[in-house]
């Protein structure tokens, strides 16, 4: 039987990190799962919804482990592989670590997708892993109704360089390293409404490795890091606020956006995940009066391979931001600060 090339997004009901379960659903599912705090070597588990698990091997070495996979948000198989791999590796950088090895996770509808397309997906993932300096050392594949690809990634860090999402301090500045709008752009792709320039912007940001996280973790003034993915800026910011026991105050006008994100959001190009995120987190956010709905969707827009959210000492924020800009993240901005108060976010 000959299987011809087909648009990947036509085979999937969702795409990218927008495929995640709604935060409220995930919290309910995990509520009865036993905590693992009986293991003293397990420095980071599920307690604070952090980006990866961390096990302290000895007084000099921590092992970081994560996995991430999803359905395609773009039709080009090589680009899909690159985005998925970049996104999976990001969790290691968000913990302050350096990746050392990856395993591929592959599920494909073998009766619907051409072998050449699957090969290109794997090649895209391997391309990014090579750029990150790690091998794809193995993996697992299944016949699956919808195309799925991602990685399990192992990394290392020194204990003093571990950065969690739960260590922001009152007074810290909050920095975002990449622009928002990835989910909005993917919704436009689904409806054939994203121009080539927009697609190029999408690929540029989603395939930009967050390797700067490993460098930021060496700075004592950087207290907390997390990456912004499927739960949007609001969801992952709220995880930082809850874990740290602080209120985040975020300036709406300082949030970096992809060039056409606002215009597309105003035209209704939003994902179902954006609505689910708002339903899960909306009661923990304070917004300016009469904020238009499209701006709310920018805050809950699911970011696939999004940027890092960084909390650092306020008087060092400008120099840390310059470091991030010089490292190749042109959209990096200081977007707010943390203060003592209830675990919540106030947008101004």
- For the chain (348 residues), the mean pLDDT of every run of 10, in chain order, is 62 64 59 64 85 93 95 94 98 97 96 94 98 97 95 98 97 98 94 95 98 98 96 94 96 98 95 84 86 93 96 98 98 98 95
Residues 348, 251: Cα–Cα separation, whole Å: 5
Residues 9, 7: Cα–Cα separation, whole Å: 6
Residues 218, 232: Cα–Cα separation, whole Å: 26
Question: DSSP secondary-structure letter at 327?
Answer: T
What is the CATH topology of the domain spanning 8-160?
60s Ribosomal Protein L30; Chain: A; (3.30.1330)
Domain ranges of the chain: 8-160, 163-347
Find the catalytic residue in 17, 129, 157, 296. Answer: 17
Cβ atoms of 269 and 187 within 8 Å: the answer is yes
- Closest alpha carbon to 332 in 308, 315, 348, 299: 308
Can 17 be counted among the known catalytic residues? yes
CATH superfamily of this structure's domain 163-347: PurM-like C-terminal domain (3.90.650.10)
Q: What is the pLDDT of residue 262?
A: 97
* Collapsed DSSP state (helix, strand, coil) of residue 64: strand
CA-to-CA dists, residue 26 to 29, 53, 276, angstroms: 5, 17, 12
Edge-to-edge strand ranges of the sheet holding 222-227: 222-227, 308-312, 173-176, 333-340, 246-250, 344-347, 285-286
**Cβ atoms within 10 A of the Cβ of 339, count?**
14
* Collapsed DSSP state (helix, strand, coil) of residue 221: coil
Cβ atoms of 55 and 41 within 8 Å: the answer is yes
Instruction: Report pTM.
Output: 0.92
């Amino acid at each position: 039987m000959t299987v011809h090339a087909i648009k990947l997004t036509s085979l999937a009901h969702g795409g990218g990190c927008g495929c995640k379960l709604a935060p409220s659903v995930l919290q309910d599912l995990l509520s009865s799962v036993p905590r693992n705090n009986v293991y003293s070597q397990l420095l980071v588990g599920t307690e604070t919804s952090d980006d990866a698990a961390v096990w302290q091997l000895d007084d000099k070495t921590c092992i970081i482990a994560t996995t991430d996979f999803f359905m395609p948000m773009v039709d080009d198989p090589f680009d899909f592989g690159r985005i998925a791999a970049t996104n999976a590796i990001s969790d290691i950088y968000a913990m302050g670590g350096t990746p050392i090895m990856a395993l591929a996770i592959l599920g494909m509808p073998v009766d619907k997708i051409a072998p050449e397309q699957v090969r290109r997906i794997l090649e895209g993932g391997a391309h990014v892993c090579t750029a990150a300096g790690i091998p794809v050392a193995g993996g697992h594949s299944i016949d699956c109704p919808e195309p799925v690809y991602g990685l399990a990634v192992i990394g290392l860090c020194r204990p003093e360089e571990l950065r969690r999402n739960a260590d922001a301090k009152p007074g810290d500045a909050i920095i975002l390293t990449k622009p928002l709008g990835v989910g909005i752009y993917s919704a436009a792709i689904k409806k054939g409404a994203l121009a080539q320039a927009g697609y190029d912007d999408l690929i540029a940001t989603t395939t930009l490795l967050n390797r700067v996280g490993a460098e930021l973790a060496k700075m004592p003034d950087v207290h907390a890091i997390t990456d912004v993915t499927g739960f949007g800026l609001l969801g992952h910011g709220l995880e930082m606020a809850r874990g740290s026991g602080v209120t985040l105050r975020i300036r709406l006008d300082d949030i970096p956006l992809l060039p056409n994100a606002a215009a597309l959001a105003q035209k209704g190009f939003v994902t179902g995940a954006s609505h689910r995120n708002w339903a899960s987190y909306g009661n923990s956010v304070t917004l300016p009066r009469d904020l238009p709905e499209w701006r709310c969707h920018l805050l809950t827009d699911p970011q696939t391979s999004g940027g890092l959210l960084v909390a650092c000492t306020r008087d060092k924020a400008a120099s840390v931001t310059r470091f991030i800009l010089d490292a190749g993240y042109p959209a990096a901005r200081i977007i707010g600060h943390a203060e003592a108060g209830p675990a919540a976010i106030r947008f101004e």
